[in-house]
Structure 1
Amino acid sequence: MGCQASRRILLLLATIVVATSQPPPTAAQTASCADHTFSGGRLYAACSPLEELDASVHWTYHASNGTADVAFRVPGGSAGWAAWAINPSAVGMLGANTVFAYHDPATGVVAVATAVVDSYTPAFADGDLAFAVHRRGAEYTDGVYAIHATVALPGNSTRQNIVWQAGTSSPDGLPESHQVFGDNVMSSRSWDFRSAEAAVVVDDVPAAPRYSVYRALLRPKNVRTYDSLDHHILDFFTWENLAGLCVQIHGVLNAVSWGVLLPLGVMLARYMRVFPSLDPAWFYLHVACQCSGYVIGAAGWVFGLTLGSPAKGALQHHGHRNIGTALFVLSSLQVSALLIRPKKTVKVRFYWNLYHWSVGYTVVVLGVVNVFKGIGILQPDQKYKHAYLGAVLVLAVVAFVLELVTLTVRFKKGRR
């Protein structure tokens, strides 16, 4: 009984945290979205700001025929795209029946298309949705995309799962994958077109806004529904929502390991060993850097394999993935080679050194290249790219200075 009570308390606390994470729109926010205007004199009965991606949704519900006039606004670059969707089967991206807005590369004007997103690597093609879409259109003004359409609400239900998104386009103008962290993985709601409230649906609990779900749960008649909350709480820990966090962990681990620790370890071995007073300290520092870099890099590689799993329909970046796998294999060989390192007096030590140096420098070059490839894929804020670029430049400048110093030391030793 005690364990069950604790479990219920934890579930309730988790529900409160999730429910209160999205406060209701303030009067000022609602007034702000109500000030938006649309071409063609389009007017809508209600609107609501969407915190993620600084978007807003506007709509008029027609109870007589179960349709809704919907307009969606989101900021975006001119070389980008925007999308708004209804997902009839789940909360999230997969299964979303989507209306896209993008710049047609042939004409330069904003075009609109509809498609069902059935995987994380969907083929972009204009097609039919699971419900009727009438009078669809889009425009781009002052850095903001606006999509408008009249949709037949699936199942003639006012409560629908909505999804919205924005991203960049490829050189041929077609939408590319959006970022997989932050707002881009949190932009979905269970939405009621009648009551104008974003809601979480809980078994046996009347529909309620996100911020007041816990109030309904506290009512005595709903005590029996606590055990049914498990899958609703877990819905917030889906692959799609956790992917953003995993991508960030993957990026940080690999940048620190392949991109910083391993180059630093090579520098320690190359430049400290010239000075006899630093022997064997340089060796232990070198091994510490390389082994810690290998362990951290292996963890980052595992995260990368999970993120790029075809079984999850994830977007595949084959070049980045293949280089990462090559790094893991070569680094594993380097670590294993330490166990069979011959003594300095043995002739074969020359060939072992040749192998060790060539593989080591290959790993350093591939590691730095792959970190930059990962930054290009992830497209984080420029400050993170500049931070890593700064770290690489610092290492390069230090290496250049130490190269001059060690060359001078070796030259003086050679003249004695």
Structure 2
Amino acid sequence: MASLLQISQLFSLLFLLTLSPSLSSTCTSPKLISSYQTCTQLSSLSSSLHFTYNRLNKSLSIAFTATPPSPSGWVAWGINPTSTGMAGTQAILGYRNSDGTMSVKTLNISSYSDLVEGKLSFDVSDKRAVFNSGDGSITIFATVQNPGDGKINHVWQVGPSVSKGFPDKHDFKPENLASKGSLDLNGSGQSGSSSSDTSSSNDATKKRNVGSFILVLGLVFGLFSYLGCS
């Protein structure tokens, strides 16, 4: 009959093997992000969006992460209340200054050639940006008030440089043109024309982990029954 130590080792191995796929399904993010309800791996520009929507005060807290094409580049995320493209987007811009400090600005993109810095159509608070030295990415943090109910149109982008506090033009490669989608504030993540995104929430992860644990218990009980009869 197998020893208790061997049975314990088998239990640990089965648990780790079963649990690993559940944990690996969450989207990638810097270690500094940990308190958001939902994470969506966006469909282009190797970017991700963590967010929490508070239904009581109708506020949306976000952490958007992307890597600019150069160290002096910029990243931006925004909501378009009227359309699905860039024109009309109320954007939050983040970039690294030459002295290493970070800047965050709000821009009203009324057209592809007209960027106006200032107040957006919704209030934005707690905005800041962090440079992630490990991979060169930038994370923008902000809280948006009354962004809309249900699904909202959001747009994200990266660019190579900043001139006099304004972002220079980004590339027009397929991944740049595809950086838009519909965001479900109820927690199911990204949907719409770029619905190939994967999303995960704490609740979904917990359910997968519980299911994995139940499966492991079944395997262990079966193993005990087999060893007891052998």
Which TM-score tier does this pair reach, normalised by the shorter chain? 0.5 to 0.7
Identity of aligned residues (%): 30
Cα separation, 2, equivalents of 1:88 and 1:27: 35
Please state how far the C-alpha of 1:144 moved relative to its aligned partner.
Answer: 0.5
The equivalent of 1:85 in structure 2 is 78
Check if 1:96 corresponds to 2:89.
yes
Cα separation, 1, equivalents of 2:163 and 2:122: 31
The equivalent of 2:128 in structure 1 is 137
Q: How does 1:9-48 map to 2 (within 5 A)?
A: 30-33=25-28, 36-38=30-32, 43-48=35-40
Please state how far the C-alpha of 1:124 moved relative to its aligned partner.
Answer: 5.3
Cα separation, 2, equivalents of 1:91 and 1:71: 21
Structure number with higher strand proportion: 2
Cα separation, 1, equivalents of 2:137 and 2:90: 22
Task: Find the residue that maps to 2:175 and give its secondary structure.
Answer: helix
Cα separation, 2, equivalents of 1:27 and 1:185: 32
Check if 1:113 corresponds to 2:108.
no
Check if 1:169 corresponds to 2:161.
yes
Q: Check the 8 A contact 1:102/1:173 in 2, yes or no.
A: no
Cα separation, 1, equivalents of 2:79 and 2:55: 18
Q: How does 1:150-229 map to 2 (within 5 A)?
A: 150-155=143-148, 157-170=149-162, 172=164, 174-200=166-192, 210=195
The equivalent of 1:227 in structure 2 is none
Deviation digits for residues 371-412 of structure 1 (CA, Å, limit 9, x no counterpart): xxxxxxxxxxxxxxxxxxxxxxxxxxxxxxxxxxxxxxxxxx
Cα separation, 2, equivalents of 1:59 and 1:158: 14
Match of 2:140 among 147, 152, 157: 147
Please state how far the C-alpha of 1:28 moved relative to its aligned partner.
Answer: 6.7
Please state how far the C-alpha of 1:113 moved relative to its aligned partner.
Answer: 0.2
Aligned partner letter, 1:58: H
Q: How does 1:377-388 map to 2 (within 5 A)?
A: none
Q: Check the 8 A contact 1:103/1:173 in 2, yes or no.
A: no
Aligned partner letter, 2:26: A
Aligned partner letter, 2:168: E
Cα separation, 2, equivalents of 1:27 and 1:161: 29
Runs (4+) off by over 4 Å: 26-30, 170-173
Task: Find the residue that maps to 1:52 and give its secondary structure.
Answer: coil
Relative to structure 1, is the Cα distance of residues 195 and 110 closer, same or farther in structure 2, using a 3 angstrom cutoff? same
The equivalent of 2:6 in structure 1 is none
How many corresponding residue pairs? 173
Aligned partner letter, 2:128: G
Aligned partner letter, 1:132: D
What is the root-mean-square deviation in Å for CA atoms of aligned residues?
Answer: 2.4
The equivalent of 2:7 in structure 1 is none
The equivalent of 2:13 in structure 1 is none
Q: Check the 8 A contact 1:30/1:48 in 2, yes or no.
A: no
Q: Check the 8 A contact 1:97/1:116 in 2, yes or no.
A: yes
Relative to structure 1, is the Cα distance of residues 141 and 210 closer, same or farther in structure 2, using a 3 angstrom cutoff? closer
Please state how far the C-alpha of 1:115 moved relative to its aligned partner.
Answer: 0.9
Structure number with higher helix proportion: 1
Who wins on radius of gyration, i.e. which is larger? 1
Q: Check the 8 A contact 2:72/2:96 in 1, yes or no.
A: yes
Higher relative contact order (CA 8 A, sep 6+): 2
Relative to structure 1, is the Cα distance of residues 102 and 96 closer, same or farther in structure 2, using a 3 angstrom cutoff? same
Unpaired segments of 5 or more residues in structure 1?
Answer: 1-25, 202-208, 212-416
Cα separation, 2, equivalents of 1:161 and 1:48: 14
Q: Check the 8 A contact 1:56/1:73 in 2, yes or no.
A: yes
Deviation digits for residues 232-258 of structure 1 (CA, Å, limit 9, x no counterpart): xxxxxxxxxxxxxxxxxxxxxxxxxxx
Relative to structure 1, is the Cα distance of residues 117 and 29 closer, same or farther in structure 2, using a 3 angstrom cutoff? farther
Q: How does 1:3-402 map to 2 (within 5 A)?
A: 30-33=25-28, 36-38=30-32, 43-76=35-68, 77-105=70-98, 107-123=99-115, 125=117, 127-142=118-133, 143-155=136-148, 157-170=149-162, 172=164, 174-200=166-192, 210=195
